[in-house]
Structure 1
Amino acid sequence: MEHASHADRHAIVAGVVAALVGFTSSFAVVLAGLRAAGASPAQAASGLLAVTVTMAVATLVLSHRFRLPLLMAWSTPGAALLATTGTVDGGWPAAIGAFLICGLLIMATGVWPRLGALIGSIPTPVAQAMLAGIVLQLCLTPVRELVAAPGQIAPILVVWLIALRVARKWAIPLTFAAALVVIAADAVGDGGVHGPLVPHLEWTAPHFTSAAILGLALPLYVVTMAGQNVPGTAILAGYGYRVPWRSAMLTTGAGTAAGALAGGHAINLAAISSTLVITSQAHPDPGRRWTAATSAGWAYLVLALLSTALTTFVSAAPADVAGAVAGLALLGALTSSLSGAMNADHGREAAAVTFVVAASGVSFFSIGAAFWALLAGVATHLVTTRD
């Protein structure tokens, strides 16, 4: 009994750690994406609050119902897509409409299996290359900001390099902590930080435009499915857990749609961070590891209370400190997606075309590069594939 109690306490700690690592590792990416999509600081804070709460609720509901370690997360590649796409035709209300449509598409994936099969039919090199092209621009931000503001960015890069050597798993959280110290030092010299600290939601009526649907909603759905839900399902399967696909898609899709009106972009199954709650390090009993996921869900709710204060604090930075941290956080995604795109025996040409178009940032008919990259990559694949 004493051993079981100790194991359960360890599972709670593992869940809290998973939430902290997941939140601090990509908080800056989400904030940068929402601001680039046209959100004001208050609207970005609302979006961060909404997406944190919805992924917390989805984690608690699914993990408790199925007694499985089903950890949810926000769509980090989706946030990177927002940052590189920028403001779409129709502004922030059109982005809200795109978020809402993305949620409905995720729900439709749970109801209509053929839609999921359609996403699965996208060649893996093409999907990986599109993700690599999307995150590339953000990964360049630390270099650009180092030239523009070396006094603020250099200390952050030094902490990141040291953390990679001594505590790789905590590298981005420690880098984020260093960024907060830099921002605090600048704020002291400028008379402090001014802005809202109490969490609040700002509702925005959705506006639907064809450019936002094709250039944002559809790519957001694709990168969320291909970059998060599919690998998240595979990782769980590797540890012997079968994801209740229909319920997971309906829950995360409904959460995405509900959070969209407050600025939340998308939630999904966690991929990399899920390993913190599904291994024996979380709990020796595989049947009890769901308690680690529920612990992470409650920790997310606590972090949601801090989201507005963090947004206000980061927004006070004189340089794009958040963008620099976001770029460092996405280097892992860039390397893995480039590896997945170029290591395939077939389809490298299609992957290269996809990557180049996505990285170009071009906009045609007011539709962003991600849509054209996917279209160009699939077209190239169909033309160059003999079978």
Structure 2
Amino acid sequence: MNSQNISAGILSALMACTGGAILVMNIGNVSGLSQAELVSWLSIIYLVGGSLNILLSLWYKIPIAGAHSITAAAFLSTAAAPFSSQELAGSFLMAGGLIALLGFSGIFKKILELIPKPLIDSMLAGLILNYAVQIVPAFKEAPFVAGLAILGFFLVPKISRSIPPLLGVLVFGVLGLFLGYDFPMAAEAPFTLPHFVIPAFTAQGFLSISIPVAVLILSNDIAVALAALKKNGFDPPINKAIAISGVGTSFVSLFGGHSANIGGMMTALCSSDEAGQKEYRFWAAVISGSAVALFGLFAWKIIVILALLPGFFITLITGFSLLGVLLSSLQSAFRASHYRYSVLFAFIIAISNVSFLGISSAVWSLVVGGIAAKLLGEGKVQERSETVRQKKAV
């Protein structure tokens, strides 16, 4: 273990324990969860998610890092409100079951290929855009604090490119709060354990929550993590990683959590050259998982601290934490020249955040986008070029 392992592991954990935690708190606020339910949700996803990735890293000696799906949490911030905590638990359980089934059966790749990646990216970009736009009114409400946070976003990467801009937003934003904001008195923080939630299964929950959550975890977390590992010269256990993420998601759902899985960007960081020599990079993932699990252990205390933060600051951090995902999703979606109107339709529908027939806009964006692609023949250009390329290779 060396300093590169430690720094990469800590930065990886910060990805999950900053914007990710605030997103989950936002879900609790819009869904009307009690503090006990919110503590249960936070603590279980970080405890299990961190522990899961520690075990995988030590067992396979591969840098596998993660906690929960931040993209799924972003989706749930707008989709979870109509459902009770029992219905959400049932929906998360079904999502985990779908992921585990795909892992154990080994058909993940074939299933994911049925949904064009540009449509998934445009759907995700549409959902996240609403949060990014809210940075502007947050700045208007508190220009001094928001101005310092934005300054941190641009200044910190100039100091070191290995430090994520979000850390600069947090540090400078908190500094601004201490200088220009009067914090209220902290509430009592009684120790709370994760508590069991009896799941309720509904068709609406399956269509509006389970399927989108499973798709987002598979495409934006697991697929990204596995691709990053292969890119950096590792041979990950693909089917087992998928199955274990599914089982982990099903388990945490029984305590209100939405997922426990390997993380895309967290694994990418821990498996990169910045994490040190290749044979020791798994220690970066172990450190990341340890920090994540520790965060979950003290969630009952941390949630009180986060509750002291003003609404505009939470909005600001949430928006900045999703900028990277928004940028990559937009680039991936609209860079695909063989998908034009289908991607645009999916993007617009996702932005609307309007449910129809009890089904969320995320699902409708994929359905309408997929139908449009078929009717307009979009995507076939790429398929023909790939076929020609394969024939030439033979």
Deviation at 1:179, TM superposition (A): 4.4
CA distance in 2, matches of 1:257, 1:19: 22
- Alignment of 1:56 with 2:39, yes or no, is no
Question: Per the alignment, in what secondary structure is the counterpart of residue 67 of structure 2?
Answer: strand
**Among 266, 291, 300, which residue is 1:299 paired with?**
291
- Report deviation, 1:295: 2.1
Cα distance in 1 between the residues matched to 2:79 and 2:295: 28
Q: Deviations over 1:61-92 (max 9, x none)?
A: 2111111111123101101001122413x422
Change (3 A) 1:99 1:184: farther
Q: 1:146 is matched by which residue type in structure 2?
A: F
Amino acid at match of 2:357: F
Q: TM-score, normalised by structure 1?
A: 0.89
On the 8 A contact 1:139/1:327 being kept in 2, the answer is yes
**Kept in 2: contact 1:153–1:324 (CA 8 A):** yes
2:128 and 2:322 in contact (8 A); partners too: yes
Q: 1:92-141 CA distances to partner (integer Å, 9 max, x unpaired)?
A: 22111111111111111111233541123211111110110111111122
Asked if residue 36 in structure 1 is aligned to residue 30 in structure 2, the reply is: yes
What is the rounded CA distance, in whole Å, between the counterparts of 1:262 and 1:181 in structure 2?
35
Map of 1:4 onto structure 2: none
More moved, 336-345 vs 92-101: 92-101
How far off is 1:269 after superposition?
2.4
Gaps of 5+ in 1: 1-6
8 Å CA contact retained: 2:152, 2:169: yes
1:192-271 matched pairs, under 5 angstroms: 192-196=185-189, 198=191, 200-271=193-264
Q: Distance in 2 between matches of 1:209 and 1:186?
A: 47
Per-residue CA distance 1:216-262 (angstroms, 9 max, x = gap): 11111111111111121111110111221121122111111111122
Work out whether 1:358 is the aligned partner of 2:350. Answer: yes
Which AA in structure 1 matches 2:102?
T
Which residue number in structure 1 is paired with residue 117 of structure 2?
124
On the 8 A contact 1:187/1:317 being kept in 2, the answer is no
Aligned match of 1:310 in 282, 288, 302? 302
Give the aligned residue type for 2:235.
R
Q: Distance in 1 between matches of 2:303 and 2:173?
A: 13
Partner of 2:281: 289
How far does residue 26 in structure 1 lie from its aligned partner after superposition?
2.9
Kept in 2: contact 1:29–1:323 (CA 8 A): no
* Superposition deviation, residue 377 in structure 1: 0.9
TM-superposed CA distance for 1:343, in Å, is: 0.7
SS of the residue aligned with 1:74?
A: coil
Q: Does 1:346 align with 2:345?
A: no
Match of 1:333 in 2: 325
Q: Contact conserved, 2:50 with 2:290, CA < 8 A, in 1? A: yes
Alignment CA distance shift 1:189-1:173 (3 Å)? closer
CA offset at residue 201 of structure 1? Answer: 1.5
Q: Paired residue for 2:384?
A: none
What CA deviation, in whole Å up to 9, does each residue of 1:179-202 have, x standing for no partner?
Answer: 445666788553x21132645313
Secondary structure of 2:261's counterpart equals strand
Report the CA distance between 1:16 and its aligned residue.
Answer: 3.1
Tell me, yes or no, if the aligned pair for 1:126 and 1:341 is still in contact at 8 Å. yes
- Aligned residues of 2:339 and 2:373 also touching (Cα < 8 A): yes
Q: CA deviation at 1:381?
A: 1.1
Find the counterpart in structure 2 of residue 106 from structure 1.
99
Identity %: 24
- Residue in structure 1 matched with residue 73 of structure 2 by the alignment: 79
**Relative to structure 1, is the Cα distance of residues 273 and 355 closer, same or farther in structure 2, using a 3 angstrom cutoff?**
same
| RMSD, matched Cα | 2.4
Partners of 2:151 and 2:172 within 8 A in 1? no
What CA deviation, in whole Å up to 9, does each residue of 1:328-377 have, x standing for no partner?
Answer: 11111111101111111201211101000001111112221111111111
Query: Which sits farther off after the overlay, 363-372 or 306-315?
Result: 306-315
| Structure-2-length-normalised TM-score | 0.88
* Aligned equivalents of 1:167, 1:281: Cα separation in 2: 12
**Matching residue's letter, 2:24:** V
Q: Which amino acid aligns with 1:248?
A: A
Q: Which amino acid aligns with 2:50?
A: A
- Relative to structure 1, the CA distance from residue 86 to residue 323 in structure 2 (aligned partners, 3 Å threshold; closer, same or farther) is farther
Structure-2 change in CA distance of 1:305 and 1:366 (3 Å): same
Q: Which moved more, 1:301-310 or 1:51-60?
A: 301-310
Encode CA deviations 1:12-52: one digit per residue, 9 max, x unaligned. Answer: 44323422344224332232234334423332222111111
Unmatched 5+ stretches in structure 2: 381-394
1:15 to 9, 12, 16: 9
CA contact (8 A) 1:172 1:329 kept: yes
Q: How does 1:136-147 map to 2 (within 5 A)?
A: 136-147=129-140
